[in-house]
Amino acid sequence: MSTDTEHVEGGSETSALEAWQDWYHLPVIGAVMLFMIWVRTQSYDRFVTDDGTPALAGVDSWYHWRTIRWTAENYPRTMPYEIWTEFPTGTHVGQFGTLFDQLIVTAAMIVGLGDPSTETLYTVSLLAVPVMAALVAIPVFYAGRRLGGTVGGIVSVIVLALAPGQFLARSSVGQLDHHVGEVLFMAIAIVAMMVALRAAEREKPIYELVAENDWDALRTPALYSGLAGLALTLYVWVWPSAVLLIGIFGVFFAVQLCLDYLRGVSPDHVAFVGAVSLGVTTILTTLLIERSGIGVTTFSYLQPLVALLVAVGCVFMAWLAREWSSRDLERRYYPAAVAGLIVVAFGIMWLALPSLYSTVVGNLTSRLIPLDPGTGTLTIVEAQPPDNFFSEYTFDEFGATFYTMLAGLVLLVARPFLGREYRAEYTLILVWSLFLISMAATQIRFAYYLVLAVAVVNAVFVADVVRLFNLDLQRGARSLREIETYQVIVVLMVVLLLFAPLLPPIAQDNTAMERGEAASPHSDAMVWEDSTHWLESNTPVPGAYGGNDNADKLDYYGTYEYPDDGDYDYPDGTYGVMSWWDYGHLITTQGERIPHSNPFQQNARTSSAFFTAESEEQSELILEAIAAGENPLDDDNNVRSTEDLEAMADEDAHEQMRYVMIDDQMAGGKFSAITAWSGPGYGHYVTPEDYEPNEQIERDEIDERFGDAPYHDTTLSRLYFDDASGMEHYRLVHENDERTVGFVSYALVDPSTDQVLHGENGEPQVAINQMVDERTQIQIARLQQNPNVDVEIFDERQGSAVKTYERVEGATITGTVDQPVGDDATVTAEIELDSGTERGTFNYTQEAELEDDGSFELTVPYATDDELGVEDGYTNSSVEAVDSYTVTVDGDETYQAETEVPETAVVEGETVEVEGFEATGVEEPAGENADENEDAAGNETGEDAESDGGGGADGGGEATGNENTTDGAAGSAAPVPVRTAG
Residue 707 has a pLDDT of 86
pLDDT digits (tens, 9 = 90+) for 849-876: 999 888 999 999 999 998 999 999 999 9
| SS3 at position 40 | helix
Q: Rounded distance, CA 736 to CA 878, Å?
A: 11
Q: pLDDT, tens digit, for every residue of 325-365?
A: 999 999 999 999 999 999 998 888 888 878 777 877 777 66
pLDDT in tens, 359-378: 777 776 666 665 555 555 55
Q: How far apart are CA 908 and CA 145, in angstroms?
A: 72
What mean pLDDT is predicted for residues 467-471? 73
Cα 232 to chain center, whole Å?
A: 26
pLDDT value at residue 109:
97
The count of other CB atoms within 10 Å of the CB of residue 99 is: 20
For 657-692, write each residue's pLDDT tens digit: 999 999 999 998 899 999 999 988 888 898 888 888
**Cα–Cα distance, 403 to 387 (Å, whole number):** 17
If you ran DSSP here, which 8-state letter would residue 173 be given? Answer: T
| Average of per-residue pLDDT values in the chain | 87
CA distances from 593 to 96, 532, 538, 596, 805 (A): 18, 9, 11, 10, 14
Helix (H), strand (E), coil (C) string for 345-392: HHHHHHHHCHHHHHHHHHHHHHHHCCCCCCHHHHCCHHHCCCCCHHHH
pLDDT at 662: 97
What confidence score (pLDDT) does residue 7 get? 46
| Mean pLDDT along residues 607-619 | 97
Q: What is the pLDDT of residue 651?
A: 75
Each residue of 387-446: pLDDT tens digit? 888 888 999 999 999 999 999 999 999 999 988 999 999 999 999 999 999 999 988 989
* 765-813 pLDDT tens trace: 888 888 888 888 888 898 989 999 999 999 998 899 999 999 999 999 9
- Classify burial at 652, counting beta carbons within 10 Å of its beta carbon; exposed 0-12, middle 13-18, buried 19 or more: exposed
Please determine, for residue 552, whether its predicted confidence score (pLDDT) is greater than 60: yes
Q: What is the per-residue pLDDT for 242?
A: 93
Is the pLDDT at 524 greater than 80? The verdict is yes
Are the C-beta atoms of 97 and 73 separated by less than 8 Å?
no
Share of the chain above pLDDT 70, in %: 88
Cα distance between residue 107 and residue 513, in whole Å: 27
879 has pLDDT over 80: yes
Task: Enumerate residues 6+ apart whose C-beta is below 8 A from 888.
Answer: 827, 828, 829, 830, 894, 895, 896, 920, 945, 949
Q: Which residue has the higher pLDDT, 515 or 823?
A: 515
Cβ proximity of 622 and 645 under 8 Å: yes
Residues in the chain: 982
- CA dist 293 and 290 (Å) reads 10
**pLDDT at residue 374, rounded to an integer:** 56
